[in-house]
Homo-oligomer: A and B are copies of this chain.
Amino acid sequence: MRYHKIPDETVKRLPLYWRALKFMSAQGETHISSQKLSDISHINPWQIRKDLSYFGALGVRGIGYKTKKLSEKIGDILRLNGTQKAALVGVGNLGQALLKYSGFKSYGLEIIAAFDKNHKTIGKTINQVTIDNISKLRELKRSKIHIGIITVPEAEAQEVAVELVNAGVCGILNFAPLYLDLPKNVTVINIDIALDLALLPYYMPAKLVARRYIGK
């Protein structure tokens, strides 16, 4: 296994393993088998082993994986070890919730700047971050922030995204429900809660009635 391309689907599962390993670590478990990891993450054991094998032999046959070693390894792969600074734009309901949310820290993310255009919001301090006028976005360049979080309304999102990129951002977490048109070297992760929600009725029990389509 040399110079192996890692499937995107595998990468998507890594944070899940990471979360499960932290959980096991907290329980004081020093070792974990793919079966046990499966019990927590609900991914098949062979899928887990296959996924992990892309990164070399991380386990010990007959024993399993060392909890701490494995979680460090996954952290290295995902580059979650160490802290990354982020700027948030749009301090509405969601923006405020994210600012107050402490869970980002364990993923190495720290929001150290926030912007809004509402004068009632500007100047407020939430969770040690003072909200700036959005017009000062371009001054962000100095602070070497590479991650931006967009929580502005849909109509303003594209414009804000461009300004963030101009300010040196190359990774964006986008909560606005639209596709952001940006240079290829910018990574965008879209989170649209409503889009996920929309799947719920389809998969709810009534599905048994009409899961298959009778066509033509």
Which residues of chain A have a CB within 8 Å of any CB of chain B?
Answer: 1-6, 11-12, 14-16, 18-19, 23, 40-42, 54-57, 77-80, 84, 93-94, 96-98, 100-101, 103-104, 106-109, 146-147, 170-171, 173, 177-179, 185, 187, 189, 191-206, 211-216
Contacts and interface: CB of A to CB of B under 8 A. Distances in A.
29 contacts: A1-B216, A2-B215, A3-B212, A3-B213, A6-B212, A11-B202, A12-B199, A14-B202, A15-B198, A19-B192, A23-B178, A40-B179, A78-B198, A78-B202, A79-B204, A80-B198, A84-B201, A93-B96, A107-B194, A147-B200, A147-B204, A170-B204, A170-B205, A173-B196, A173-B200, A187-B203, A191-B191, A191-B193, A191-B196
Say how many copies of this protein the assembly contains: 2
Given A3-B213, A93-B97, A171-B203, 16 more contacts: A3-B215, A6-B212, A15-B198, A18-B198, A41-B179, A42-B179, A55-B213, A57-B216, A79-B201, A79-B202, A93-B96, A108-B201, A170-B205, A171-B204, A189-B197, A189-B203
